[in-house]
């Protein structure tokens, strides 16, 4: 059973940490993309959206170089006392955040844009500071978008395969996540284990898509003032 | 001056150029009036700090903006009422009302109960914004602005998104606001009837510039008033109820002139505002003996100007400079009666309406 549990636990850990980081990094990016009047912002949006169309192996290849001893990973690794971030859990987290960023940023940006500047202006005329406006007005009004972003980011990380294969390899307990484990089980003709994990993923994906569409419906039903 | 609002803005916002410099008193309602695109909303948003246009804004002795500094919106003691009520949809009416009140550092001189009473909100308090009518929402948004304890209330066409019925429902609350609170109001509108009914002070704007500004009756009566040639022009004269005759006719005294009008629920001594539309005034050389027109008052012709090819606008003065109003008559009549500036004639006023109790 350990063989089954280890990849599940690892996957959930990776997806949870990635989702938290996605929210911390993605929300300010989405905010900036929604409100900035700088003309070049769509260029930034395009770069963030690249993982949507790029083959995961291409992204994984560049990430591997970036995380390796000759890239940023080596430089940061020196500080942390390791040679490289490739083939580590930390490396996977970094790669997952990059890979899933567009899935989180897009719905959050959309919900900020749908909310519009008006509620923030109203709050400002009622003495709310910028941070106060964000917490008391923007977050509640954009909540469906924020939740959708989090759910999609989480789900996308769980389903990741190509990128992980490129930068994480297949180290049990460190980088061997669900999708890799399933691949492994099939390769070694262990159909029973492959069945159990695949069925679990199927149910999970179903639940995710259902919850996202329910969230989206709730957002639409909100009556504007 | 510490009892004034002074606004000087010179610059551009996008492609729109603005160059204004005017004063408004620290009491009563000042209307910013002009066609759409004249810059009135831009000025209001600049006073709120929602726009940045170079210039200087002082309110009652405090500098809100000058060359060196510009207070951010949340540090300006304003209340802003937007064209659409813009209530927070995720908060109840009560929470909307207290949003600003919880955040202001000013003394709570305007109390919650007082505002609820003034704006008739008691039965709405526990509802959600999505369950209110347009007029109710706008009343809540006015209450919300008031409870943030503003020193200056800014209103951007607060009535224009409302239909006739909602407008009629909300106007009395504005008048109540005006008489019971001592907060100055800057009021943006493109509707002259709102100006006549509510304003004390008027700033006329066109293409980002001030055409004229001053007390309402002065701006309306000014010989070169840009409003004079409007077909719906009306003068607004402040008067006092002298008495009510037994047949229900109220006698309003403007200086020494008596004006008669049909009005109920008035009591002697009350200050009122009388509206005389230029199109309702005709001119006679002598007092007609057999006419149904109640009001025929002696006036002096102060000015005559042509309006288009077939009409003439007359500026008329009441005796002793008590007030001025206008008549709009045909050019043919002007020539037939041989009307000249400085002459005394009789102005027959077909209808006089009462605007508001002041």
Whether residue A141 and residue B144 make contact (CB cut-off 8 A), yes or no, is no
Residue spans of the domains in chain A: they are 2-220
Identify the residue with better confidence: A218 or B185.
Answer: B185
The predicted structure's pLDDT at residue A222: 56
8 Å CB contact between A67 and A89 = no
Beta strands in chain B (DSSP E): 4-13, 16-25, 29-33, 55-59, 62-65, 78-81, 152-156, 185-189, 201-206, 209-215, 234-244, 249-254, 257-262, 271-277, 281-284, 295-307, 311-317, 324-330, 344-349, 353-357
Which pLDDT does position B49 carry in this prediction?
95
| Residue B67: partners with Cβ closer than 8 Å, 6 or more residues away | B54, B56
Sequence ranges of chain B with CATH classification 2.40.50.100 = 234-357
Could you tell me the CATH superfamily of domain A2-220? MetI-like (1.10.3720.10)
Express each pLDDT in A64-91 by its tens digit. 888 887 777 777 777 777 777 788 888 8
Instruction: State the helix-helix crossing angle for A191-221 and A178-187, rounded to 10 degrees.
Output: 150
B97 touches chain A (CB under 8 A): no
Residue A118 touches chain B, beta carbons under 8 Å: yes
Sign of CA dihedral A93, A96, A101, A107: negative
Going by pLDDT thresholds of 50, 70 and 90, the confidence category of residue B104 is very high
Query: Which of A118, A132, A140 minimises the CB distance to B90?
Result: A140
Q: Smallest Cβ distance to B74: which of A128, A140, A224? A: A128
**More confident: B15 or A132:** A132
User: The pTM is what?
Assistant: 0.83
Residues of chain B with CATH 3.40.50.300: 4-221
pLDDT digits (tens, 9 = 90+) for B121-180: 999 999 999 999 988 999 999 999 999 999 999 999 988 877 787 777 778 777 777 777
Is any Cβ of chain B less than 8 angstroms from the Cβ of A114? no
Write down the number of H helices and E strands in chain A.
12, 0
Nearest CA in chain B to A143: B90
Name the architecture of domain B4-221.
3-Layer(aba) Sandwich (3.40)
The answer as to CATH 2.40.50.100 being correct for domain B234-357 is yes
pLDDT digits (tens, 9 = 90+) for B25-49: 998 899 999 988 888 999 999 999 9
The pLDDT assigned to A223 comes to: 45
């Amino acid at each position: 059973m350990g063989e089954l549990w280890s990849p599940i636990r690892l996957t959930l850990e990776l997806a949870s940490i990635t989702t938290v980081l996605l929210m911390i990094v993605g929300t300010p990016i989405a905010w900036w993309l929604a409100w900035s009047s700088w003309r070049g912002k769509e260029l930034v949006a395009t770069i963030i959206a690249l993982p949507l169309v790029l083959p995961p192996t291409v992204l994984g290849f560049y990430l591997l170089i970036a995380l390796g001893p000759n890239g940023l990973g080596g430089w940061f690794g020196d500080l942390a006392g390791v040679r490289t971030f490739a083939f580590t859990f930390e490396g996977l987290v970094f790669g997952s955040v990059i890979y899933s960023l567009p899935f989180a940023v897009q719905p959050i940006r959309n919900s900020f844009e749908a909310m519009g500047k008006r509620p923030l202006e109203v709050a400002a005329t009622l003495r709310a500071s910028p941070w106060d406006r964000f917490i008391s007005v923007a977050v509640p009004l954009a909540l469906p978008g924020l939740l959708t972003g989090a759910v999609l980011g989480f789900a996308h990380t769980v389903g990741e395969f190509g990128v992980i294969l490129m930068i994480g390899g297949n180290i049990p307990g460190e980088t061997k996540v669900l999708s890799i484990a399933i691949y492994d089980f099939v390769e070694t003709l262990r159909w029973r284990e492959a069945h159990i994990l695949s069925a679990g993923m199927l149910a999970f994906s179903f639940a995710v898509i259902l919850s996202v569409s329910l969230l989206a419906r709730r957002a639409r039903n909100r009556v504007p003032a | 001056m510490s009892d004034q609002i002074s606004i000087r803005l010179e610059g551009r916002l996008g492609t729109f150029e603005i160059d204004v410099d005017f004063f408004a008193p620290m009491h009563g309602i000042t209307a910013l009036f002009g066609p759409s695109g004249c810059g009135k909303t831009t000025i209001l948003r600049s006073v709120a700090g929602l726009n940045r246009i170079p210039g200087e804004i002082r309110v009652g002795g405090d500098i809100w903006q000058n060359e060196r500094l510009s207070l951010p919106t949340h540090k300006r003691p304003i209340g802003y009422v937007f064209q659409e009520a813009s209530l927070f949809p995720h908060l109840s009416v009560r929470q909307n009302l207290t949003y600003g009140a919880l955040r202001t550092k000013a003394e709570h001189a305007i109390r919650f109960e007082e505002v609820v009473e003034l704006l008739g909100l008691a039965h709405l308090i526990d509802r959600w914004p999505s369950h209110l009518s347009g007029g109710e929402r706008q009343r809540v948004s006015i209450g919300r602005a008031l409870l943030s304890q503003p020193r200056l209330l800014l209103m951007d066409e607060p009535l224009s998104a409302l239909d006739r019925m909602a407008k009629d429902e909300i106007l009395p609350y504005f008048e109540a606001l005006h008489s019971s609170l001592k907060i100055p109001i800057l009021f943006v509108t493109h509707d002259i009837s709102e100006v006549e009914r509510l304003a004390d002070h008027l700033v006329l704007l066109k293409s980002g510039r001030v055409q004229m500004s001053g007390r309402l009756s002065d701006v309306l009566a000014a010989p070169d008033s840009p409003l004079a040639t409007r077909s719906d022009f009306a003068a607004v004269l402040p008067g006092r109820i002298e008495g009510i005759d037994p047949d229900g006719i109220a006698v309003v005294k403007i200086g020494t002139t008596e004006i008669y009008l049909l009005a109920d629920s008035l009591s002697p001594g009350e200050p009122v505002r009388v509206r005389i539309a230029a199109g309702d005034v005709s001119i006679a050389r002598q007092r007609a003996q057999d006419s149904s027109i109640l009001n025929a008052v002696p006036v002096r012709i102060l000015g005559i100007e042509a309006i288009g090819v077939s009409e003439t606008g007359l500026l008329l003065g009441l005796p002793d400079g008590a007030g001025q109003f206008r008549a709009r008559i045909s050019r043919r009549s002007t020539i037939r009666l041989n009307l000249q500036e400085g002459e005394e004639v009789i102005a027959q006023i077909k209808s006089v309406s009462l605007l508001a109790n002041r």
